[in-house]
Amino acid sequence: MNWDPRTVVVTGAGAVSPCGVGRCALWEGAAQGRSGIDWIESFDVSGWPVRIAGEVRGCTAEQWLTRPVGLRRDRSLQFGLVAAHEALQQAGLLDADDRVPSRFSVGMIAGSGLGPCFEAEYAYGCFFNRGREAVRPMTVPKSMHNALSSQLSIYFGLRGASQTVAAACASGALAIAQAWTLIRSGLQEIVLCGGADSPLTPGMFAAWTNMKVLAHHEEPARACRPFDRRRRGLVLAEGAGMVVLESWESAQRRGVPVLARLSACGYSSDAHDLTAPTPEGPQRAMKHCLQIAGKSPGEVDYINAHGTATPANDVAEATAIANVFGHRESGLPISSTKSVLGHALGASGALEFILCAEALQHQFVPPTRNCDEPDPETGLDFVPNVGRPHSLRCVLTNSFAFGGSNCCLLLERV
Amino acid sequence: MATPSDRTEIIAELREVFDRVTDGRLDVSRIGEDAHVINDLGLSSLELLELRFELESVWNVVPDDDQVRRLQTVRDVIELIAARAA
């Protein structure tokens, strides 16, 4: 392959999702349209209007890591550690002690929308119930927003650039984009990047509930209906997706297999509203991404949509996609894998990035579950309910966030 | 002087304290009385502050800085608690 040495390639991927632990479980669940959305079990939601989520069942860092790490209260951190372990291991970067050998200086860019909200909620509970003296000494380092990137860096020995990216639902995608930029510029050779989030703590879940954007259904698997006429809102979820990005030069030198190429990122901000989406911002982000990649819309073979299943997002996104990509006789498959995973906030962009890499490997497009009657009537192909084999060379993944941050990532087959 | 059963109770409770202080990092079933709190158990300066936090909240024991400096081993911590509890 005669590529520019700073071409950015994917050499490792790891995931924890409502479909299970591991990137294989993630792909199989999404490809089969098998929902990970179910009744919430990790805390008491009796009598609440929404009692469902994409919950991760039975995953602790202790089960997967070699050295003890503790840090039990922060659920998203536990998932982040496990996903990072899988990614680093696939990339051949871990010794027997789960450490990256000191000859490598691996960066760590992690995305999180909510940060260590479990620790924050616990600490505020101590304060308001029992006063100043009840606030534990470790509260600050455990609840600071960069706990995720710091703890991963400490555990695995990641000694390059390290930060946590905060951009709500686009955090994971923007973390990956930031890593891409660092490698393209030559500032880093190898970067572990991705996202982790969990909103499943009582106070945080109450806050989301009262925004009235969540869908509830007495058959949880039918609740999340992206691009469907009967969609009623998003379903919250938790999880983590981590990928190892590195320069083509580094991957060749290390002799490791390459899973996909990350060819471009695109950015925009809506500059409009804290929560209400627009077609215009996403349109600009998709066009920006195509421009950076040097591709025409006709060269994209599949779009993994942001597709949250809120009435507002889906119509804005469908309109934006139709405006940028038009309609083709050959069709352009577009699917939302949030239909089976739910919306894992800062982890979503990373999980969906991994699903795109898997789609390229398997030459298969995952479906949009519950998309029985497509709406709006744009004539777009949302791959309703059943996935299909498809020739894929170039795929796009969208992430559009509260606050108006938009990020698109374009992957190509190797 | 603390009775052997008081001591047993203190040790059992102290294992749970070390579990909380290290947030599950240590295998507390294997902590022996001779273990040095910093060199063997690896407690950081913040975790030592958490240990002081627990001494106060569980046993109402509030050592001054001098007494904390003299706490080297797990046995030292047990004796400190036993002396105040007596």
pLDDT of residue A297: 97
Q: Are strands A364-365 and A388-389 parallel, antiparallel or unpaired?
A: antiparallel
Amino acid at A411: L
pLDDT of residue A375: 82
- Tell me, yes or no, whether A173 and A322 share the same domain: no
Q: What is the tens place of the pLDDT at every residue in A72-104? A: 999 999 999 999 999 999 999 999 999 999 999
Whether pLDDT at A141 is above 70: yes
Sequence-distant (≥ 6) Cβ neighbours of residue A351 within 8 angstroms: A15, A17, A26, A172, A195, A239, A240, A241, A337, A341, A344
- Tell me, yes or no, whether A287 and A200 share the same domain: no
- CATH at residue A380: 3.40.47.10
Q: What is the ipTM of this complex?
A: 0.90
Length of chain A: 414
Alpha-carbon Rg for chain B, nearest whole angstrom, is 12
Residue A80: closest CA among A64, A99, A102: A64
Residue A71 distance to chain B (closest CA, Å): 5
Q: What are the angstrom distances between the C-alpha of A213 and each of A207, A244, A311, A402? A: 11, 34, 9, 12
Active site residue A59: no
Residues of A with CB under 8 A from a CB of B: 62, 68-73, 134, 136-138, 141
Q: What is the tens place of the pLDDT at every residue in A210-269? A: 999 999 999 999 999 999 999 999 999 999 999 999 999 999 999 999 999 999 999 999
Per mean pLDDT, which range of A57-61, A207-211, B64-68 is the poorest? B64-68
Q: Is residue A301 situated within a structural domain?
A: yes
| Structural domain count of chain A | 2
Domain extent, residue A207, equals 8-260
Mean pLDDT of chain A: 96
Which of residues A403 and A186 earns the better pLDDT score?
A186
pLDDT of residue A248: 98
Rounded to an integer, the average pLDDT of B26-30 is 92
The highest-confidence range among A287-291, A377-381, B29-33, by mean pLDDT, is A287-291
Q: Does B54 touch chain A (CB under 8 A)?
A: no
Between chains, do A138 and B46 touch, taking CB under 8 Å as contact?
yes
The owner of tokens 């996935």 is A387
- Tell me, yes or no, whether A31 and A130 share the same domain: yes
Q: Is residue A2 situated within a structural domain?
A: no
- Tell me, yes or no, whether A406 and A269 share the same domain: yes
- Tell me, yes or no, whether A330 and A206 share the same domain: no
Active site residue A85: no
- Domain's final residue, options A223, A241, A260: A260
- Tell me, yes or no, whether A72 and A176 share the same domain: yes
Helix (H, G, I), strand (E, B) or coil at A288: helix
Q: Is residue A3 situated within a structural domain?
A: no
Whether pLDDT at B73 is above 90: yes
Under a CB-based contact definition with an 8 Å cutoff, are residues A79 and A240 in contact? yes
Q: How far apart are CA A247 and CA A204, in angstroms?
A: 39
Output A177-180 pairs: Cβ under 8 A, ≥24 positions apart. A177/A265, A177/A267, A177/A407, A177/A409, A178/A109, A179/A8, A179/A107, A179/A109, A179/A245, A180/A8, A180/A245, A180/A262, A180/A265, A180/A409
Under a CB-based contact definition with an 8 Å cutoff, are residues A127 and A134 in contact? yes
- Tell me, yes or no, whether A242 and A282 share the same domain: no
Active site residue A343: yes
| DSSP class per residue in A206-275 | HHHHHTT-B---SSGGGS--TTBTT---B-BB-EEEEEEEEEHHHHHHHT----EEEEEEEEEE--S-SS
- Domain's final residue, options A225, A260, A295: A260
Give the global pTM: 0.96
- Tell me, yes or no, whether A79 and A204 share the same domain: yes
Rounded to an integer, the average pLDDT of A49-64 is 97
Between chains, do A72 and B50 touch, taking CB under 8 Å as contact?
no
- Domain's final residue, options A210, A235, A260: A260
- Tell me, yes or no, whether A288 and A361 share the same domain: yes
Q: Does B1 touch chain A (CB under 8 A)?
A: no
Rounded to an integer, the average pLDDT of B74-81 is 95
Q: Is residue A249 situated within a structural domain?
A: yes
Instruction: Please report, rounded to a whole number, the percentage of residues in chain A having pLDDT higher than 70.
Output: 100
- Tell me, yes or no, whether A308 and A385 share the same domain: yes
Output A381-385 pairs: Cβ under 8 A, ≥24 positions apart. A381/A331, A381/A332, A381/A333, A381/A334, A382/A226, A382/A227, A382/A334, A382/A335, A382/A336, A383/A333, A383/A334, A383/A335, A385/A33
Q: Is residue A1 situated within a structural domain?
A: no
Q: Is residue A270 situated within a structural domain?
A: yes
- Tell me, yes or no, whether A82 and A154 share the same domain: yes
Rounded to an integer, the average pLDDT of A1-5 is 88
Map out the domains of chain B with their CATH numbers. 4-85 (1.10.1200.10)
Q: Does B43 touch chain A (CB under 8 A)?
A: no
- Tell me, yes or no, whether A198 and A296 share the same domain: no
Contacts of A141 in chain B (CB under 8 A): 46
Chain A to chain B Cβ contacts (< 8 Å): 30
Q: Does B29 touch chain A (CB under 8 A)?
A: no
